[in-house]
Amino acid sequence: MSHDMGRLHHVDHVVHDMGEALDLYRRLGFTLAPPTYPAMAPSEGAAPEPFGAANTHADFPRTFVELVTCVPQGGAARVPSEAKLVPLRAPAELLPQLVERISRTSATIAASLERFEGLHILMFSSPDIDDAAERLSAARVAHGGVNTVHRAVETADGTRTESVRYLEIDSPEPAVGPGAVAEGRVGVVADLDPLVQAARQLDHPNGAFDLVEVVTCVAEADLDATEARYQEYLGIPAQADGPTRVFDLDGARLTFVPDSQLSTLLPGEHASAVPAFVAYAVAVRDLAATRKRLHDNGFSVGRTDSGDIFVPAASALGATIIFREASQVRR
């Protein structure tokens, strides 16, 4: 296993309506903090108004699932009543750069939603992101270099500021644009600060405690090339598992499935587009209890040959959400 990039960090579920997504995830049994929205006064003396991109997390001890949306022009009415506005604070000379960066992020999210609502961002975790950047460069994998951002984090003790170091991988295809590859945005984030993560709300009524798999669907003709590309990213080989290719990531998996076999892996599912991240799996402590909670909350669940259960993408805002018994997770 690569020493600098060995496991999943988080996956982003990009949604049109944050209020709808909060309701969905809470019915699925996840605990989420109120979403945070950057805010700025439209004129001097006016109250700050939300703009840009908003997010919240379903947090686990070392990973998370992130819900993300953007605030459309004049879309403040769609901001959930529980949302927390975070007024932008920066020296006057730096404020235009901050606004421009947030606006770029919002535009990227809007473009993702034009493609489809669902999973668009996958980040890997690194204990040494500078080493990861050097290895990627040596392998001639284009990336934007290591960046540092500061963000407000909701914890049980209130709002804290967390520094996040990350890099995004660039596609070799100019048409895709910087900071993205054909299937979405892929990158590396420095390992989560354990003190900050421990202060977050980590208890989920559905028993979920870790992000353990992301499934990516690709055209069958592109499977070998995609596998080779991720082997360069991760610095480890994949293993063939039937029609799929699997990267072992410290107790989690990154799985690639050809579009012709997706409905075999996840019965009844199909991809809105290829290539794309189509599903993620969380480990749960008691699968039978999770299944009962989902049933009681009105969800019809599918079942895989391996015994996992899943909520279909059609019922979960474009993302297939898989629940896996803890005993079936390789550690």
CB 16 within 8 A of CB 113: yes
Burial category of 18 from C-beta neighbours within 10 Å (exposed 0-12, middle 13-18, buried 19 and up): buried
Instruction: Tell me the pLDDT band of 55, cut-offs 50, 70 and 90.
Output: very high
pLDDT at position 159, please? 64
CA atoms within 13 A on the CB side of 213: 28
Mean pLDDT (whole number) for 151-178: 76
Indicate the DSSP class of residue 75: -
- Higher pLDDT: 161 or 229? It is 229
What's the rounded Cα separation, in Å, for the pair 307 and 324?
A: 8
Q: CA 243, 303, 122 angle in degrees (round to 5)?
A: 60
120: Cβ–Cβ under 8 A, 6 or more apart, which residues? 12, 14, 109, 112, 184, 185, 277
Indicate the DSSP class of residue 181: B
pLDDT at position 151, please? 65
What's the rounded Cα separation, in Å, for the pair 50 and 36?
A: 9
> In the block, which residue shows the tokens 């805002």?
317
Pairing of strands 158-168, 147-155: antiparallel
**Nearest alpha carbon to residue 284 among 255, 326, 251:** 326
**3-state SS of the chain: helix, strand, coil percent to 5?**
25, 35, 35
- pLDDT averaged over the chain? 90
Structure tokens at 134: 């050097």
The answer, yes or no, to whether residue 312 has pLDDT greater than 60, is: yes
Instruction: Tell me the pLDDT band of 179, cut-offs 50, 70 and 90.
Output: confident
pLDDT at position 16, please? 95
pLDDT at position 291, please? 98
> In the block, which residue shows the tokens 């309506």?
17
Structure tokens at 157: 């003790």
**Nearest alpha carbon to residue 120 among 180, 164, 32, 60:** 180
Mean pLDDT (whole number) for 96-120: 86
The answer, yes or no, to whether residue 195 has pLDDT greater than 80, is: no
Q: Is the dihedral of CA 145, 142, 63, 20 positive or negative?
A: positive
Q: Compute the residue count for the chain.
A: 331
The answer, yes or no, to whether residue 69 has pLDDT greater than 80, is: yes
**Nearest alpha carbon to residue 58 among 253, 284, 325, 306:** 284
The answer, yes or no, to whether residue 91 has pLDDT greater than 80, is: no
What's the rounded Cα separation, in Å, for the pair 241 and 230?
A: 16
Indicate the DSSP class of residue 140: T
CB 189 within 8 A of CB 164: yes
